[in-house]
Amino acid sequence: MSTIEQAARRLEELRRAGADVPDKPAAHAAASADAVVRAIDLHRDAVRTAVPSEEPSARRVPSSHPQPRIELDLPRLRELGFITPDAPMNQIADEFRVVKRPIIRNALGKEGIRVKNGNLVMVTSALPGEGKTFTSLNLALSIALEYDNTVLLVDGDVAHPTMPTLLGAPTSPGLLDLLTRDDVDVADALVKTNVEKLSLLPSGSRHRRSTELLASEQMASLLRELATRYSDRIIVFDSPPLLATTEARVLASLMGQIVMVVAADSTSQHAVTQALATIENCEIVLMMLNKSRRTDVGTYYGYYGDDAGR
Ligand SMILES: Nc1ncnc2c1ncn2[C@@H]1O[C@H](COP(=O)(O)OP(=O)(O)O)[C@@H](O)[C@H]1O
Ligand SMILES: [Mg+2]
């Protein structure tokens, strides 16, 4: 079965299972659905292109500071629905096991295919509140807990940083400091955690042009540095929504892989189609249907995208 057929079938299954994927007026509904599926097909084809890995970036300043470390409150995170080391077998962990498989393959060049900057994974959505932070952290935890690879989670929704409240992480130094100051090195801004393979990059000191900076040449340069300096590490960016800021689109164009979260019970097909149009030049887009409404059997993710069935 082709990826497109899988995607269409998965959407239909989710609808039948009760997931609301609200339709726009009937005249637009079919066109919207087609547009979504075409977008996935386009990106899937792009994955097949083998890309040689790049030379490491020139900007390398060895850090003289010991890396700070924080203790994540794992019982609290578990209560909030996050994957934790003591509950590796629950439903959400199972769902992310499926989600992360193609991401890891694309990132690390398994099976001879190395996607350009494939280790830069942006998690975004059309609108706020669809589950970007929920997905980013779970994806990062899932990879860190089960694979022999380190993960760096970046708090990239700089107008709404979540690491301080959700994870108890410091706000700075972080991403915005790396973009605005010459005296801060990447290694100075990374924060280790009690999940051995998981490090964090906080959003950084607030700046009046916070979101604009995400679309700056400094950001492009930082991403090149991250992709090459930490080439064996998967870097997950919790990012702003695509329809709320134009910067998110620019950011997306610099990433190797995009995970687009769709809130099953609230995002209209029209919004999804519009959001996909903003990232149509991105090689790899994986769609995730997030049904965040709680049910008797907990929450669940629907997933369709590149090679969902493998
Ligand atoms: N699948 C899910 N199961 C349980 N809670 C969820 C799920 N998805 C999102 N949430 C919760 O919904 C709220 C909004 O999600 P969040 O990830 O913060 O959205 P965004 O980052 O896109 O603005 C948060 O409280 C989050 O924990
Ligand atoms: Mg968020």
- pLDDT digit string, tens, across residues 210-229: 999 999 999 999 999 999 99
Tokens of 278: 């903003």
Q: Give the C-alpha distances (Å, rounded to integers) separating 14 from 30, 114, 134, 145, 293.
A: 17, 32, 20, 28, 13
Mutate to test the pocket of ligand 1, among 96, 136, 163, 292 (most ligand atoms within 8 A of CB): 292
Check residues 148 and 195 and name the one with the higher pLDDT. Answer: 195
Ligand 1 atom closest to the CA of 162, numbered from 1: 18
Residues flanking ion ligand 2, Cβ below 5 Å: 132-133, 157
CA 122–ligand 2 middle distance (angstroms)? 12
pLDDT value at 76 more than 80: yes
Residue 282 near residue 117, CB atoms below 8 Å: no
Mean pLDDT of the 266-273 span: 93
Q: Is the pLDDT of residue 202 over 90?
A: yes
55 Cα to the center of ligand 1, angstroms: 38
> How many whole angstroms from 81 Cα to the centroid of ligand 1?
9
Q: What is the pLDDT of residue 251?
A: 97
Q: What's the whole-number average pLDDT of the chain?
A: 79
Q: pLDDT at residue 56 above 80?
A: no
Tell me 216's DSSP state. Answer: S
Q: Residue 34 has what pLDDT?
A: 33
> What pLDDT sits at residue 121?
98
Average pLDDT rounded to a whole number, residues 191-207: 96
In the predicted structure, residue 9 carries a pLDDT above the cut 60: no
The C-alpha atoms of residue 256 and residue 72 are separated, in whole angstroms, by 28
Confidence of residue 265 (pLDDT cuts 50, 70, 90): confident
Longest dimension (CA), the chain: 61
Examine residue 173 and say whether the peptide bond preceding it is cis (omega within 30 degrees of 0).
yes
What residues contact 148, with CB distance under 8 A and at least 6 apart? none
Ligand 1 pocket at CB < 6 A: 80-81, 125, 128-134, 290, 292, 299
Q: How confident is the model at residue 39 (pLDDT cuts 50, 70, 90)?
A: very low
CA 167 to chain centre: 17
